[in-house]
Amino acid sequence: MACHQRSSSLPSGPHSTVAKVEEELQGLKAHISSPSVTVAAICDGLRKLGDVYNSIEGIMCLPSNQVGLSLPQQKQMVEEELDRSLVLIDLCNSMQENLSELKMSILELQLVLKRGDHAAVQLKFESFVRIARKAQKPFKKTGSKATAECCNLVRIMAEAREMAVSLLDTTSGLLVKKIGAPSSSKWSLVSKRFQKRNVVCDEEQLQALEREIGDLENGAEFLFRRLIQTSVSLLNILSS
């Protein structure tokens, strides 16, 4: 969205728009906070958050906000939040790369399952789990909350960023949970030590997981594009 355009879905008043975005963020938080959250819910959440960023861009592009964001007392906070948003963009990009790597690993795992090479299956699956766990690492030291001094726009940008980090972290955690082992077996997808009678079932599970990872990859890409778009608009405002 260029800053000279207004989204038709945005309310006419800036204050009501901020309230609407905050309401959407609260609803999204409730949407993904369940311990039994599903891949479908995460995919939906990634897209909804992308739409929230579209609304945030609409708010920042209002003429009154463009002037306010450039004021000296606000500009430093805006620039700091922009720096944090660039870190988020890197996290989102890393998530896309990890999901792509996981999808390729699933294809390789399906091939060794078809060959009935149980030793190779175990090695491939261990590699698969390592990739999923690697996706969790960037989130361990991430997070910086908005302060009370922030203007409304910077505050909702910070809240959206925190929600994005939470969503991406939940995505990686859910993958590890789906792939990881329950106490009753070594692996949750390749069970009972790779007995032949389980291979067909395991292939079906892997195909289903491949589709889910593809959906997550699409959701992460959608959010990534919106993050880039919002950051570019904000950079344009600050440099104008």
- Residue 9 sits at the vertex; the CA angle it makes with 220 and 75, to the nearest 5 degrees, is 70
Rounded distance between C-alpha atoms, residue 170 and residue 33, angstroms: 9
Does 11 score more than 60 pLDDT? Answer: no
Identity of residue 110 = Q
Reported as a single tens digit per residue, the pLDDT across 204-228 is 778 888 899 999 999 999 999 999 9
pLDDT at position 159: 92
pLDDT at position 154: 86
Average pLDDT over residues 101-129: 79
**Alpha helix segments (H runs only) across the chain:** 14-32, 39-60, 63-69, 72-115, 118-134, 152-179, 199-239
Average pLDDT over residues 73-97: 90
Does 6 score more than 50 pLDDT? Answer: no
Rounded distance between C-alpha atoms, residue 117 and residue 136, angstroms: 30
Does 133 score more than 70 pLDDT? Answer: yes
Average pLDDT of every residue of the chain: 78
pTM above 0.85, yes or no: no
Reported as a single tens digit per residue, the pLDDT across 17-74 is 888 899 999 999 887 888 788 999 999 999 999 999 999 999 888 888 888 777 777 8
Domain-by-domain residue ranges, the chain? 39-139+150-239
Query: What is the percentage of the chain residues whose pLDDT exceeds 90?
Result: 31
pLDDT at position 42: 94
pLDDT at position 16: 59
Residue 128 pLDDT level (bands cut at 50, 70, 90): confident
**Alpha helix segments (H runs only) across 116-143:** 118-134
Does 4 score more than 70 pLDDT? Answer: no
Q: What is the CA radius of gyration of the chain?
A: 21
